[in-house]
Structure 1
């Protein structure tokens, strides 16, 4: 490990360079990272990377799920709960079933149990890939909410399928009532454990004498505890992290102060950025280990099987997307749905095409044991690994590259946004100003007459109250303001050099204030 440390360090540099390149050429960075890992793996003398599945499941998965659950809107998640739940559970199950029958039919020696195992591995789309692609193009909020919400839950459902299929392969039998009870415990136990641990952490944040550093460390520890505790009692660690993360995210303003929220946001953005980059590069780097164990199956044949499974996955998801629309249109006659209007063909097509696979599929495939309990080699393990790799690679390349162009080609308007966002934001600012002025005049009228500082705040809120679209800072004005802030920063640094007796902490505070002002420009 120590001998290869320079190699691992250089991989981080490669990841940063490739992500910058991806932004430059407007390609989703998971695509470039997987291809780069694939290319690096062919370089002579490169250490063969052995990825432990526990490393991916325990080190990478909890923080990535936790960060995603903090980012998503609970309101949007609840609004689209029916379609999100159907894609996260029903569609994943039907996809796994489709893969099981296809594998059993097309791949020699593949039983239905092995096919279902493969289906559980490759059925969940990857959240990171879709999120990276959607950043390049503007899509309706409902589409991004559905994809984000689905990605939080489908990992759990696919891993549940994977566990049951593993038992069926190992024992040769499947007890449906035991599976039903186990499934119920995994869901209920996972959610319950996540909420309980989240509640304990919320109280720790609120009542213990923490500061921003302690708060950040607690947020880093929380997802690992949620995941490990849930897995130890054989429930779903994924659902534990997701439910706990959603709970803490919803109540974040009740137990974290403003400084902790700002600093933790920066820490988590950087952490998830690095972890996402590493896992996609690892997918490409793992190819030599995967191809070594193919044995009697030729690489062209294995690639062909991977192509077949990829086609099945893409078609199953697209059919499911349109099926969900039909079910919604029928259900609106009997129950209240989030949106009773016909969504047309565009949103189902985009949801169906947003099915790139990623790290969870690879980790699940790698976690298949080498041997059964009776000592026999696990059947078709290496072929399952290779097919999983081909599926990840093809979905990232084909769907990942074409999805932005498909979104632009469709040019879909947002049916939920009747008023431009700028106007909505401006109206909220006016109402905030009115609320502030009302509170100030009602409760502090005497202090207002005495203190100039409060009078200045009053004038500021009066200006915000009268704000019109033309007054909102234009891009040209932001450029001027940034230039002024830069000049102030240069002057402060020079002042610190010239005045040797001046306390540098004072200068640093002023510099931090300028940084906050520059950050504030992003939101005005």
Structure 2
């Protein structure tokens, strides 16, 4: 009976979380505020409601259950071309800024916070060094930031999870053994984490890509896509490499291969299911962050007054924001200088965009889970500073997510960056090339068509010429012949395949981004599915 009662309690908790996620997401949409901010504030407010069920956040639940699919989904949406283009600045943020943050927090804690020493400060810096992929990009995309900024933020938040967790590993060693690894040991460990994680992820990606080509069943491929991120993460962790980077690598690889290994109908099914699942997981995660306030406050010891805690939280949040701004500007200048030497024709990250990147350093559930994973007992003695670390982490999450998230629209408008769109010319170019090649294919088919079927080709060509005219601002035509639908449908599907091959070729040549390809690909999937049915 006890097991049944506990099962019912879990069911009620899950149901409550899902209802709240749906309700507050609707509210966020009405308020035109990114839903992570609303959900965190809602969870925070509900945590003080009497008789509200207490739902603790287990760090193992975050790292093993929530993290792999969310990382996989985030990696899937990243454009490899743009990720590669901005790799230098992404690396300076994901590796250099992590180290700078850890050092800065350790020094500040040792000199200005009596309750923390340098070791505890180092550990706190490692905990706070990672930005949240979902929070930053969901806020940035909702506000219409230039795609270049979003690409950099996405790439940084995907890679700094691995370096941040390595810093956490080093911090725990410092706490337990009292010494830091040598520079050689640290570099060797970081290299193994990166290379091992990437190799494991790519190997799994190649295997899954082979299997996907043998399957054309939506439900089966959906199940397989759910297995992939967990398999990559667990394989990376078992090899003591980076499970995070293994998931990122397999996500980037399979995203790149998806136009070739998924049929249109399967792609629509799988993408729709993943979109719903990631929204639910993200919603639960941000809601759980807010609901942790009672646990955070209950663990505080040492006679801290509420005013002192608030002061500590505000100081640390301001320091984290300042450290990021201090690092970002020279890092982007250095990256622009290197880029001017290698690719002088490419656009540079402007000072205005640099400031927005520095301002968008939001922390999320990874930081909180890292803080909660710190052991309560170290070397047989109670680690009394642990609860203060958890509180400061929680405070930084609230300030960076809520304050920076809510002020970001004003910052963007003040800098004149709102509503800029960098991929429209690429999209127009891709559509124009795809339509022209489809028309050329149909004109060749018309020359060899059987008597009486020329008009079917004429109709299809007219359709494509009309669509081309919409892109090139020319006048088009259009006509439909129901009596030759069978021929029209067959050739229309073939023309869609020509469009598909064209945009894939353009993507492979680096002439358009993966974002443009995915946008056009969805329209082709819907068109081909309609014709096939």
Q: TM-score range by the shorter chain?
A: 0.7 to 0.9
SS where residue 44 of structure 1 aligns? coil
Counterpart among 276, 286, 290 of residue 284 in structure 1: 290
2:434 — aligned with what?
Answer: 432
1:13 to partner: Cα distance: 1.2
1:392 — aligned with what?
Answer: 397
1:317 — aligned with what?
Answer: 324
| Alpha carbons 2:39, 2:286 under 8 Å: kept | yes
Q: What is the CA deviation profile of residues 336-383 of structure 1, one whole-angstrom value per residue up to 9, with x for unaligned ones?
A: 1577766443111100110111011011111112222x3222341111
Equivalent runs, 1:349-498 vs 2, <5 Å? 349-372=355-378, 374-412=379-417, 417=422, 421=424, 425-442=427-444, 445-447=447-449, 449-451=451-453, 453-467=456-470
**Structure 2 unaligned spans of 5+:** 1-5, 477-522
1:100 — aligned with what?
Answer: 106
| Alpha carbons 1:35, 1:284 under 8 Å: kept | yes
1:117 paired with 2:120, answer no
Cα 1:25–1:467 shift into 2, 3 Å? closer
1:109 to partner: Cα distance: 4.1
1:296 to partner: Cα distance: 1.1
1:133 — aligned with what?
Answer: 139
Q: What is the CA deviation profile of residues 232-258 of structure 1, one whole-angstrom value per residue up to 9, with x for unaligned ones?
A: 121111101001100111111221111
| Alpha carbons 1:314, 1:353 under 8 Å: kept | yes
What is the TM-score normalised by the length of structure 2? 0.83
| Alpha carbons 2:141, 2:150 under 8 Å: kept | no
Equivalent runs, 1:173-184 vs 2, <5 Å? 173-176=179-182, 177-184=184-191
Cα distance in 2, alignment partners of residues 225 and 15 from structure 1: 28
| Alpha carbons 1:431, 1:465 under 8 Å: kept | no
Equivalent runs, 1:496-515 vs 2, <5 Å? none
2:172 — aligned with what?
Answer: 166
Cα 1:346–1:173 shift into 2, 3 Å? same
1:121 to partner: Cα distance: 0.8
Moved more, 160-169 or 7-16: 7-16
Counterpart among 39, 56, 64 of residue 45 in structure 2: 39
Cα distance in 1, alignment partners of residues 111 and 288 from structure 2: 31
1:98 to partner: Cα distance: 0.7
Cα 1:77–1:468 shift into 2, 3 Å? closer
Cα distance in 1, alignment partners of residues 26 and 97 from structure 2: 35
Q: What is the CA deviation profile of residues 265-318 of structure 1, one whole-angstrom value per residue up to 9, with x for unaligned ones?
A: 111110110011000110111111111111114143233222222111101111
SS where residue 48 of structure 1 aligns? coil
Equivalent runs, 1:338-353 vs 2, <5 Å? 343-353=349-359
Cα 1:346–1:448 shift into 2, 3 Å? farther
Cα distance in 2, alignment partners of residues 213 and 301 from structure 1: 54
| Alpha carbons 2:432, 2:472 under 8 Å: kept | no
Cα distance in 2, alignment partners of residues 306 and 248 from structure 1: 41
SS where residue 342 of structure 2 aligns? coil
Moved more, 288-297 or 395-404: 288-297
What is the TM-score normalised by the length of structure 1? 0.84
1:193 to partner: Cα distance: 0.7
Cα distance in 1, alignment partners of residues 232 and 349 from structure 2: 38
| Alpha carbons 1:318, 1:352 under 8 Å: kept | yes
Cα distance in 2, alignment partners of residues 168 and 465 from structure 1: 64
Cα distance in 1, alignment partners of residues 93 and 295 from structure 2: 33
1:216 paired with 2:218, answer no
**Size of the alignment, in residue pairs?**
473
1:50 — aligned with what?
Answer: 56
Cα 1:413–1:269 shift into 2, 3 Å? closer
Equivalent runs, 1:323-334 vs 2, <5 Å? 323-331=330-338
1:151 — aligned with what?
Answer: 157
Cα distance in 2, alignment partners of residues 431 and 341 from structure 1: 24
Q: What is the CA deviation profile of residues 395-454 of structure 1, one whole-angstrom value per residue up to 9, with x for unaligned ones?
A: 11210100011112211389995xx82x65444333322211222333563226543544
**Structure 1 unaligned spans of 5+:** 474-512
Cα 1:396–1:339 shift into 2, 3 Å? farther
Cα distance in 1, alignment partners of residues 389 and 200 from structure 2: 32
Cα 1:376–1:340 shift into 2, 3 Å? same
Cα distance in 1, alignment partners of residues 339 and 216 from structure 2: 49
Cα distance in 2, alignment partners of residues 338 and 397 from structure 1: 38
Cα distance in 2, alignment partners of residues 254 and 468 from structure 1: 26
Cα distance in 2, alignment partners of residues 180 and 120 from structure 1: 16
